[in-house]
Amino acid sequence: FDVPLDFRLAKGFRREVLTHLPEIHYGQTWSYATVAAAAGSPRAVRAVGTACATNPLPVVVPCHRVVRSDGSLGQYVGGAAAKSLLLTLEAAA
């Protein structure tokens, strides 16, 4: 999506994570560890999960593109089936 996003309601590390999620391009995935490193705190992997879980715009700000380091899906606010479907649709494009 190419829309302006207002992250003022998010604070601190959560905001930092949310601002980096749009860098994950359509059809790509990043690990929670990769997002943590991009946000400047490479050891804050669990905090990335928390930031994704509280994402107010879960499709526009693509937290569904964040997966575990072993490639498994991990959690998603819309459920594992929705995350899998979104990633499958994007991979096919």
Residues classed as catalytic: 63
User: Would you state the structure tokens that stand for residue 83, as one six-digit string?
Assistant: 């995350």
Map the chain to HEC letters. Answer: CCCCCCCCCCCHHHHHHHHHHHHCCCCCCEEHHHHHHHCCCCCCHHHHHHHHHCCCCCCCCCHHHEECCCCCCCCCCCCHHHHHHHHHHHHHC
- Reading the block at residue 23, the tokens are 């860098």
